[in-house]
Amino acid sequence: MREATSDDFIVAAKLNSADFQRGGFSEDDSVIVAKWLQEAGCDFIEVSGGNYEQPRMIDFDRKDPLAASKRESTRRREAYFLDFVPKLRQAVSIPVMVTGGFRSVAAMVEAIELDGVDLIGLGRPMIIDPDVATKILSGRIERVESRDDDLVVGTGLLGPRSPISYLRDLNAWGALGWYYEHIYSIADGKKPDLNLSPFRALLSYDRTETRTAKAVIREPKPH
Ligand SMILES: Cc1cc2nc3c(=O)[nH]c(=O)nc-3n(C[C@H](O)[C@H](O)[C@H](O)COP(=O)(O)O)c2cc1C
């Protein structure tokens, strides 16, 4: 049997446009890494941004100026990392995928036709409905189902725009926990409970993470 080579697989890298932290990874750094990835034979680059301290990839507190601005075009209002594409395009020739915020088919089409994006990435919509890509491509839906605004642990002072950063983080983790719980349900072949409260999801996610962390600690160390 012939041995598999890297030509048999698509190898892509998800790359932050920036991590939005002082002294952190900048767009210029990202361009340099993108060039390295192209030279190393990467087939395409997926552009996203943020990290678990600054989760811009899920725009949890609606702080992102692009996402907040209503005068922008549909695609700019939805997709948070589109502005970085021209800069990346100048640096690399491999296909570029953009992930983060796409909810309407119109915005996805505009990003491909007007911004030269090659691939559209969907995260949370795929968790809510794993068949969403088929539905988009067959023209059955104009908009993906989303829970972006509903997944809050509280409102006002307790909500995602709270002046208290701990409470903002709690909301972000409530939303992430909700999605994680759904991923686990799908993996177990169960129907996800779309009515699960973000607070209960947070508690359950916390229990799962604690269990996993303890199991890792118990794992015998390799000699
Ligand atoms: C539950 C959950 C887990 C995620 N885990 C990762 C991860 O491990 N690595 C990563 O690069 N992005 C991760 N993301 C970010 C997504 O891949 C995606 O960039 C983000 O959700 C924005 O796309 P969307 O608006 O289509 O959801 C995660 C998102 C969610 C909701």
**Residue 98's domain is classified under what CATH number?**
3.20.20.70
Number of domains in the chain: 2
178 plus 97 within the same structural domain: no
Q: Which two tokens stand for residue 136?
A: 């988009």
Determine the distance separating the centroid of ligand 1 and the alpha carbon of 100, expressed in angstroms. Answer: 8
Residue 143 has pLDDT above 90, yes or no: yes
Residue with the smallest CA separation from ligand 1 atom 29 is 123
Q: What pLDDT score was predicted for residue 70?
A: 44
What is the Cα gyration radius of the chain? Answer: 19
Confidence of residue 57 (pLDDT cuts 50, 70, 90): low
Last residue of a domain, one of 92, 123, 148: 148
Same domain, 186 and 141: no
Domain boundary among 129, 148, 167: 148
Q: Identify the band that residue 80 occupies on the pLDDT scale cut at 50, 70 and 90.
A: confident
| Residue 156 clears pLDDT 80, i.e. is over it | yes
* Ramachandran quadrant class, 100 (left: phi over 0; alpha: psi -120 to 50; beta: rest): left
Q: Are 128 and 200 members of one domain?
A: no
Atom number in ligand 1 closest to CA 180: 1
Q: Which stretch of DSSP H or E encloses residue 96? A: strand 96-99
Alpha carbon of 84 to ligand 1 centroid (Å): 18
Q: Which long-range contacts (CB under 8 A, 24 or more apart) does 18-26 make?
A: 18/49, 18/84, 19/49, 19/50, 19/51, 19/54, 20/49, 20/50, 20/54, 20/56, 21/51, 21/53, 21/54
The rounded Å distance from CA 34 to ligand 1 centre is 20
Q: Tell whether the model's pLDDT for residue 64 goes beyond 50.
A: no
Residues 122 and 223 in one domain: no
- Same domain, residue pair 181 and 103: no
Q: State which residues form the domain around 223.
A: 150-223
| pLDDT > 70: percent of the chain | 86
pLDDT at 65 over 90: no
Residue of 57, 103, 182, 204 best suited for mutating to test ligand 1, as the one with most atoms within 8 Å of CB? 57
Let me know: does 125 contact 132? Beta carbons within 8 Å.
yes
In the sheet with 96-99, reading across from the earlier edge strand, the strands are 12-16, 44-48, 96-99, 119-121
Pair 65, 166 in one domain: no
What is the distance in A from the centroid of ligand 1 to the CA of 58?
A: 7
pTM for the model stands at 0.84
Ligand 1 neighbours (beta carbon < 6 A): 14, 48, 57-58, 99-102, 122-125, 176, 179-180
Same domain, 69 and 156: no
Q: What's the pLDDT score for residue 69?
A: 46
**Residue range 196-213: mean pLDDT, rounded:** 91
CA–CA distance, 222 with 200 (Å, rounded to integer): 37
Residues facing 12 on adjacent strands: 44
How far is ligand 1, taken at its centre, from the CA of residue 124, in Å?
7
Contacts of 167 (CB under 8 A, 6+ apart): 153, 154, 157, 158, 159
Same domain, 164 and 88: no
184 and 201 both lie in a single domain = yes
Tell me: do 88 and 195 sit in the same domain.
Answer: no
64 with 52, same domain: the answer is yes
Mean pLDDT (the chain, rounded): 84
220 pLDDT higher than 90: no
User: Is there a single domain that holds both residue 162 and residue 78?
Assistant: no
- Residue where a domain stops, chosen among 148, 163, 190: 148
